[in-house]
Amino acid sequence: MCSALADAAADAGIGLTLLPVLYERAGFAQPALRDDQRRFATTVSDVLALQRAVASWARPLLDAGVAVHSLRAARPESIAALAAASKGPLHIHVAEQTAEVDDCRTATGLRPIEWLLRQAAPDARWQLVHATHATAAEIDGVARAGAGVVLCPATEANLGDRLADLPGWLASAAPLALGSDSQVVRAWPEELRWVEFGQRLALRRRNVAAAPGVEPATAARLFEHVRAGSAGAAGFARWGLEPGARADLLVVDVQDDALRGLPTSHRLDALVFAAPARPFSRVLVAGRWRAPPAAADGERFDAAMAELWGESPSIG
């Protein structure tokens, strides 16, 4: 399966970080997997072997980290062993639903994120996926540890998990990234829209993510937070248009009906909140153009390039 996913990513021309998952038990008080879960069964040795195998392929744009499905699905000693032996990013689903929080407190006396902070000593490799039910003290602890948080707003909405404390996470120093966690939504502009609109509904005010006097544009502040936080989640030191980062970019189609005529300062907000039908005209991955535009779109693409760089660049 790992090989098939790597082949698919190569065919599409995108980068991929695979995360073999540790999955040992059905719950805190259930030391074995149910019959319907046995197809997911892995051990620490299995996960590390898969990570080494992926690394040994030495395929372009392919990396590997590891993951723990959740605290309920792995024994504490296994989590510790995996963290000690693995390299690269380490993801774990945590504090997604109230039942998980209640079960963890019953089994350990601690909330899930609280348990991680006390028992697992997370560092910058760790990515806490969801972290929906986090207290102010836990948010502060995650930020001090340097661990990242991966919000999955569309899936969290689909499952009725609750809204994360976005203002709390934005005010902290914890890196933030976006995840899908399912096939409900696979478009980051829509995920960012979910992040902001959910908060507006809950708090009954607009522009929750904006920071007047610092970053007044809601979409720009959200985008920059998740852009910067995505580096650690994917296992990179740098991410985005900065020296030393992999040369990845999306060219916005400024002629889309939702974007046409807007000043540059408003385009990112329009990209997220106006939901253009065809937001991107071209994709660059590791310095190579992917998914070239159709012939009819060539003139629009050249215009976008001219506006971006002053002329259409030649990138090898």
Q: Is the pLDDT of residue 294 over 70?
A: no
pLDDT of 307: 64
Q: How much is the pLDDT for 304?
A: 60
DSSP letter string over 3-63? Answer: HHHHHHHHHHT--EEE--EE---SBTTB-S--GGGGGG---HHHHHHHHHHHHHT--TTEE
Structural domains of the chain, count:
2
The predicted model gives 129-150 an average pLDDT of: 98
**Entry pTM:** 0.90
pLDDT-derived band of residue 296, with 50, 70 and 90 as boundaries? very low
Question: What is the length of the chain?
Answer: 316
CATH number at residue 69: 3.20.20.140
- Tell me: do 118 and 150 sit in the same domain: yes
3-state secondary structure 79-94: HHHHHHHCCCCEEEEE
Domain membership of residue 89 (yes or no) is yes
Domain stop point among 234, 263, 285: 234
Residue 316 pLDDT: 36
Last residue of a domain, one of 234, 260, 280: 234
Same domain assignment for residues 218 and 264: no
Predicted pLDDT at 169: 98
Closest alpha carbon to 278 in 308, 313, 251: 251
- Over residues 192-219, the pLDDT tens digits come to 999 999 999 999 999 999 999 999 899 9
User: pLDDT at position 313, please?
Assistant: 47
d(CA 198, CA 203): 9
| Domain encompassing residue 227 | 2-234
Task: Say yes or no to pLDDT of 113 above 80.
Answer: yes
Angstrom distance (rounded) from CA 233 to CA 302: 33
What positions carry a catalytic annotation? 130, 181
pLDDT over 90, % of the chain: 87
Across the chain, what does the average pLDDT equal? 92
Would the pLDDT of 48 be above 90? yes
What is the C-alpha separation between 16 and 188, in angstroms, rounded? 16
